[in-house]
Amino acid sequence: MDIFEVFARFPKQDDCIAYLEKVRWQGTPRCPYCKSSKQTPLPKEHRYHCNSCNTSYGVTVKTIFHRTRLPLQKWLLAVSLILNAKKGISARQLARHLKVNRNTAWRIGMQVRDAMYQPEHRNLLCGIVEMDETYVGGKPRRGSGKDVHIKHKCGRGTSKIPVVGMVERKGQVYAKVFGKSRLTLKKFSALVREKVDIQNTILMTDQYRSYLGMSRILPHKSIDHSIWYVRGDIHTNTIESFWALLKRGIVGQYHKVSLRHLPKYVDEFCYRYNHREQEDVFSLTIQRSLGAA
Ligand SMILES: [Zn+2]
């Protein structure tokens, strides 16, 4: 759903509430405190009185929209803008579109990202899985002030933050921020055991030392990037295109991402990538932000 559809479908606060109620409760309002469905509607306030625990509640209780003073339409617009921004959207851009201040936009963005967070119960990766790592952060924006001429070291052995990723060809991606810790075979193996169906997977990597030894846990092929980038089926092009997207987004839109927030941005890019072919990702995201998916 793009922003024009959001404007058309949810012109007023009432329309937004009706939509959220439908997504969250499918017609049967349920008390978020005691889970009872015995209620008396208080239509004027868009709330319900719970006949079991005697509290009153609205559809936004215990969700990212709880106690918001902003019109819900702005929240729905924010979800749409974030989902449609292939390269990410900065707080400043979001603020401009929503006509709110930058801090508010930043908070909304972070809460929508929370809703996009992919729970651990998702399926294991399988088939041909490419694994690689990249380094994020620290690079100044091109053309911004005095740092322009400083050459920045790239890749392994820098102070940037390592992110390790795995992607199924034509499938799902998983990426994890590794903090500033060293990337070792032990950590890579633990990650593969946790996220990959090792019985049904061939792993493709480059020849970084820490990947050697992976063949002890699953079939593993590696490509020597000092000689060639693609040898038959053996390449890591899929994960590298994902990195390109992630880095263009993070450097271009966010350019100052702290280690603390980086995992959320990485999740955001994974979420968009993993739902790239899903038709109604808007509703899914709203469901998640209401805790209903
Ligand atoms: Zn109740």
pLDDT value of residue 114 = 87
- Identify whether residues 93 and 142 lie together within a single domain: no
pLDDT value of residue 140 = 42
- Identify whether residues 132 and 255 lie together within a single domain: yes
CA of 36 to the centre of ligand 1 (A): 5
Q: 159-184 pLDDT, tens per residue?
A: 688 999 999 999 999 999 987 778 89
User: 269 pLDDT exceeds 50?
Assistant: yes
- Identify whether residues 97 and 129 lie together within a single domain: no
- Identify whether residues 157 and 250 lie together within a single domain: yes
Structural domain harbouring 47: 3-116+281-289
The 10 Å Cβ neighbour count of residue 99 is 10
Whether residue 273 is contained in a domain is answered as no
Count: domains in the chain? 2
- Identify whether residues 84 and 190 lie together within a single domain: no
pLDDT value of residue 155 = 57
CA of 40 to the centre of ligand 1 (A): 11
Instruction: State the CATH number of the domain containing residue 246.
Output: 3.30.420.10
Whether residue 267 is contained in a domain is answered as no
Write down the mean pLDDT value for the chain: 87
pLDDT value of residue 144 = 42
- Identify whether residues 133 and 252 lie together within a single domain: yes
Whether residue 266 is contained in a domain is answered as no
Counting other chains too, the contacts that 8-12 makes at CB distance below 8 Å and 24 or more residues apart are: 10/72, 10/73, 10/76, 11/73, 12/73
Whether residue 240 is contained in a domain is answered as yes
- Identify whether residues 242 and 148 lie together within a single domain: yes
- Identify whether residues 133 and 238 lie together within a single domain: yes
What is the DSSP annotation of 19-75?
A: HHHHHHHTT----TTT----EEEEGGGTEEEETTT--EE-TTTTSTTTT--S-HHHH
CA of 67 to the centre of ligand 1 (A): 18
pLDDT value of residue 257 = 74
The 10 Å Cβ neighbour count of residue 146 is 7
Residues with CB under 5 A from ligand 1 (ion): 31, 33-34, 36, 50, 52-53
Q: What is the pTM of this model?
A: 0.84
CA of 39 to the centre of ligand 1 (A): 8
Whether residue 33 is contained in a domain is answered as yes
Dist. CA 238–CA 204, nearest whole Å:
10
